[in-house]
Amino acid sequence: MRKFGVLACLLASTLVTNVANGQTEPAAPPANWRALVARHMLQKYDLSNIREAGITTPAYVFTTIWQGHGWALCVATMYDDNRYRVYELSFAKDGKVSDMGEVSVRPGGRLGPPGAKASVGRTKIGNFRYCRYATTSPFPEIVRGKR
């Protein structure tokens, strides 16, 4: 019961802080958000086997208890062996990109039927919390040979 009380206090303090700071309307995501995401992905992950990539547009969602609401997006990647991976990212208050999680998707998951050559550059993501039902657009900035 005590843990629930602490959690309730944290949630309430986030709400009160946001209201006290006058944050009723969300600030827009950084103007150069695609470049920031590309730089983050290239610095943090080994993308040498990426054949194709897609990115969703940022959506204003509840991200974490510590951040509260913020802008989040997903990057879907396809590797040479037809494995898919979806990265969930968000923008911190200072504009830096934060990792929120990553999920491996088997071919035949939400990104296409088994054996099919699904495109991660134009697909609807259906099972990830920040990008539920969002559609990707091509993200060639992180694909090898296109940098």
* pLDDT level of residue 17 (50, 70, 90 thresholds): very low
The pLDDT value given to residue 97: 92
Mean pLDDT to the nearest integer, 79-91: 83
Distance CA 142, CA 135 (A): 18
Per-residue model confidence as pLDDT tens digits over 86-122 = 899 988 878 889 888 888 765 545 554 444 455 666 6
User: In Å, how far are 23, 54, 78, 80 from 41, measured between CA atoms?
Assistant: 29, 12, 14, 18
Q: What is the pTM of this model?
A: 0.71
Q: Look at the block and give the residue holding tokens 């827009």.
A: 28
Distance CA 84, CA 120 (A): 8
Burial of 102 (C-beta count, 10 Å sphere; 0-12/13-18/19+): middle
Chain length of the chain: 147
**pLDDT at residue 25 tops 70:** no
Residues 29, 12, 3: CA angle, nearest 5 degrees: 115
* pLDDT level of residue 57 (50, 70, 90 thresholds): very high
Please check whether residue 73 is in contact with residue 130, taking contact to mean a CB–CB distance below 8 angstroms. Answer: yes
